[in-house]
Amino acid sequence: MRQLATAEIIAVGSELLTPHRTDTNSLYLTAQLNELGIDVRTKCVVGDNLADLVGMFKLALTRADVVLLTGGLGPTADDVTRDGIAAALNLHLHESAEIVGAIQARFASRGLQMPDINRRQAHVPEGARVLPNANGTAPGLWIDAGEQVVVLLPGPPRELQPIFETHVRPGLASRTGSRQLRRRILKITGRPESGVEQIAQPLYGPMADWPVPVETTILAAPGQIELHLSARGDDAAKIDRVLDEAVTRLASALGDIVFSADGRSLPEVVGQLLLEQGARVAVAESCTGGLVLGRLTDVPGSSSWVIGGVTAYSNDVKIHQLGVAAAMIAEFGAVSEPVARAMADGVRERLAADVSVSVTGIAGPAGGTVEKPVGTVVIATSGPRSLLRTFRFPGDRAMVRTQATQAALDMLRRTLIGA
Ligand code: ATP
Ligand code: MG
């Protein structure tokens, strides 16, 4: 049988053609397929329209080994994926008593009766394999179309992902041969993209010509740069060794601006350090309004290392909840190094934390002055070590707040590692 090397993804749903919904399933599927060594050659979005869907699907079949479709498996008349694919492949649909039973049981478990329209979700093209959906009513479907593979998955990510992992990945993996693609991601903060590129490019450039070539792409977002390294081959252990070598070289050249080489986010890294040190953190935020605490508490298990925080947006809160002297604010301004220092010390003391971070700044668009333009942000940490720094972040209000949040988390990290 043909080895599966290329894929095409078709996301179905008229809502995905509006500005209100984004097709994220294809990003997830692309990552999964790449791990299996399958290249995604094309992807597209089609509305809930049978003719459009059939047209795109037939085109996909002319060029891809695997065609994955997501969405449009619901019970309503605008869900056309099942019918469209069956028609395009000339397959009869039959109703599966087993699926009807599973859907009925799902409704019954919530004390409901299955509406008759849900029977459509039990329609199975002849020869298709049913992929049970533990988190919803519409099962996925695997269809062998000659040597090609067609997979239909429900749209909601929390339904699609478990089905892919449990049923689709093993099926594809058994037909991709031994060729695979592996990746590493270096995450960096505290340096602009050009600064990272200047250090990294002379190292990763030549890696493209290594016996096992390493491909590198650099991705920039506000407050974070990522270097994505990938290599392909038949021998997983060998590819891993090559990637490890590449990561080691880049990480040692870049130094402590690299905060993770294992996929962890900045708050996860901070949390791990706090956990290892048996320390707990408190946060005092002005211009970030709770974003720093929000990122920290995004991490599962953060209750063992986060105490809490004070959103000290007004001077009143800075004075009365954090103990910042009113005279200090009058003399230096709310966005100043002495005030940031007093906020960090104040929240650490009042919440009995081992370490703390404070953020005060001007996110804009109003409030800037000549000495303190929009984007001026002062961040302090307090603890066994204390750091204090004034930043000038570029961009609009959202960008300033994102960068300030990231910088606050990074200063916490530096406080904890002593960098
Ligand atoms: P259901 O049985 O839940 O109706 P379905 O297969 O018909 O499943 P859709 O109705 O197309 O799925 O989509 C349901 C929801 O899933 C959408 O409102 C959207 O939130 C999400 N969704 C659908 N497609 C995508 C996609 N490509 N990326 C991210 N989310 C998606
Ligand atoms: Mg739909």
**Mean pLDDT for each 10-residue chunk of the chain (419 residues)?**
92 96 97 90 96 97 97 91 96 94 93 92 94 93 97 97 97 86 93 94 95 93 93 90 97 96 96 98 98 98 98 97 98 97 98 98 93 96 96 95 97 93
Q: Is the N-terminal amide bond of 365 cis, ω within 30° of 0?
A: yes
Our answer on whether the CB atom of 18 is closer than 6 Å to any ligand 1 atom is: no
pLDDT at 376: 97
pLDDT at 177: 79
Give the closest residue (by CA) to ligand 1 atom 3.
Answer: 74
The pair of structure tokens assigned to 260 is: 């993770």
Identify the burial level of 128 via C-beta atoms within 10 angstroms of its C-beta, where 0-12 means exposed, 13-18 middle and 19 or more buried.
buried
pLDDT at 280: 98
In the block, residue with structure tokens 């060998």 = 238
Please state, in angstroms and rounded to a whole number, the distance separating the CA atoms of residues 91 and 146.
13
Q: Which atom of ligand 1 is nearest to the CA of 45?
A: 27
By most ligand atoms within 8 Å of CB, the mutation choice from 18, 25, 43 for ligand 1 is 25
pLDDT at 178: 77
pLDDT at 284: 98
Give the closest residue (by CA) to ligand 1 atom 13.
Answer: 155
The CA–CA distances, whole Å, from 226 to 190, 216, 221, 258 equal: 12, 10, 8, 9
State the Cα angle at 140 between 139 and 143, rounded to 5°: 135
Please say whether the beta carbons of 41 and 7 come within 8 A: yes
Please state, in angstroms and rounded to a whole number, the distance separating the CA atoms of residues 120 and 130.
14
Our answer on whether the CB atom of 302 is closer than 6 Å to any ligand 1 atom is: no
State the Cα angle at 73 between 83 and 167, rounded to 5°: 110
Listed residues: CB within 5 A of ion ligand 2? 13
Q: How far is the CA of 79 from the centre of ligand 2 (A)?
A: 5
Our answer on whether the CB atom of 139 is closer than 6 Å to any ligand 1 atom is: no
By most ligand atoms within 8 Å of CB, the mutation choice from 10, 12, 21 for ligand 1 is 21
Specify the amino acid at residue 5.
A
Q: How far is the CA of 135 from the centre of ligand 2 (A)?
A: 16
pLDDT at 203: 96
Ligand nearest to the backbone CA of 138: 1
Our answer on whether the CB atom of 74 is closer than 6 Å to any ligand 1 atom is: yes
Q: Could you count the other beta carbons within 10 Å of the beta carbon of residue 131?
A: 20
User: Residue 307: which of 248, 365, 344, 348 has the closest Cα?
Assistant: 348
Contacts 24+ apart (CB under 8 A), 111-120: 115/75, 117/75, 117/76, 118/75, 119/75, 119/95, 120/75, 120/79, 120/82
Please say whether the beta carbons of 119 and 107 come within 8 A: no
- Render the burial of 88-127: b for 16+ CB within 10 Å, e for the rest: bbebebeebeebbebbbebeeeeeeebeeebbbbbbbbee
Our answer on whether the CB atom of 70 is closer than 6 Å to any ligand 1 atom is: yes
Angle between helices 291-298 and 397-417 (to 10 degrees): 60
The pTM (predicted TM-score) of the whole model is: 0.75
The pair of structure tokens assigned to 36 is: 């299996």
Our answer on whether the CB atom of 171 is closer than 6 Å to any ligand 1 atom is: no
Our answer on whether the CB atom of 16 is closer than 6 Å to any ligand 1 atom is: yes
Q: Please state whether beta strands 306-311 and 281-285 pair in parallel, antiparallel, or not at all (unpaired).
A: parallel
Our answer on whether the CB atom of 48 is closer than 6 Å to any ligand 1 atom is: no
Q: How far is the CA of 267 from the centre of ligand 1 (A)?
A: 30
Element (H, E) at 365: none
Q: How far is the CA of 69 from the centre of ligand 2 (A)?
A: 12
pLDDT at 37: 86
User: Residue 172: which of 72, 70, 82, 67 has the closest Cα?
Assistant: 67
In the block, residue with structure tokens 């984007």 = 375
User: Residue 378: which of 354, 396, 400, 350 has the closest Cα?
Assistant: 400
Give the closest residue (by CA) to ligand 1 atom 15.
Answer: 156
Our answer on whether the CB atom of 13 is closer than 6 Å to any ligand 1 atom is: yes
Residue 413, CA atoms < 13 Å, CB-side half-sphere: 24
Q: Which atom of ligand 1 is nearest to the CA of 26?
A: 27
Measured over the CA atoms of residue 388, residue 390, residue 394 and residue 397, the dihedral's sign is positive
Q: How far is the CA of 58 from the centre of ligand 2 (A)?
A: 20
